[in-house]
Amino acid sequence: MLWGRQTYRWSDLDFEANAKDGSGIDWPLRYKEIASWYDYVEKFIGVSGSIENLPQLPDGQFQPPMEMNIVEKDVAARIKKEYNDTRRMIIGRCAHITESLPGRTKCQYRAKCELGCPYGGYFSTQSSTLPAAVKTGNLTLRP
């Protein structure tokens, strides 16, 4: 299982899917009940992405999207045209910041993420949740 910090909202297409299919147990909530929590988390962890107005993939509190490369831009434009905008290739929505946050510097695009990020460019416990916990004064770190 690989997260790769790809961070997408579910829509009611997902929350209602098993109820409609008649399999498994229906989710106990729907999108509108969880949307404000998506807002909260996205702002806290920092998620970059594009606004697309797709009902099946709700937009969020995104930082500016990363830029597609020249080939991706061309493929995306061709898909959009060929399928009359019913199919779309979009940039990933990922927990890499494109604007710096307090205590974190925006991604430097060095592709060294597997070594850990000294800038806090991607969301991690070390860059985000532990510093926030320290700030509360309720955290004691013991070696």
Query: In the complex, which residues of this chain contact ligand SF4 (CB under 6 A)?
Result: 96, 107-113, 117, 119, 121-122
* Distances from the Cα of 36 to the Cα of 32, 33, 41, 113, angstroms: 8, 7, 9, 29
Least distance in angstroms from the C-beta of 125 to ligand SF4: 14
Least distance in angstroms from the C-beta of 37 to ligand SF4: 24
CB closer to ligand SF4 out of 88 and 112: 112
- How far is C-alpha 130 from the chain's CA centre? 20
Tell me if 59 sits within 8 A of 91, measured CB to CB. no
CB closer to ligand SF4 out of 38 and 123: 123
Convert 20-52 to b/e letters by CB count within 10 Å (16 or more is b). Answer: eeeeeeebeeebeeeeeebeebbeebbbbbeee
CB closer to ligand SF4 out of 31 and 63: 63
CB closer to ligand SF4 out of 50 and 124: 124
Least distance in angstroms from the C-beta of 65 to ligand SF4: 15
User: Rounded CA gap, 19 and 68, in Å?
Assistant: 37
CB closer to ligand SF4 out of 60 and 121: 121
Least distance in angstroms from the C-beta of 7 to ligand SF4: 14
User: Rounded CA gap, 101 and 120, in Å?
Assistant: 9
User: Rounded CA gap, 8 and 121, in Å?
Assistant: 18
Least distance in angstroms from the C-beta of 139 to ligand SF4: 24
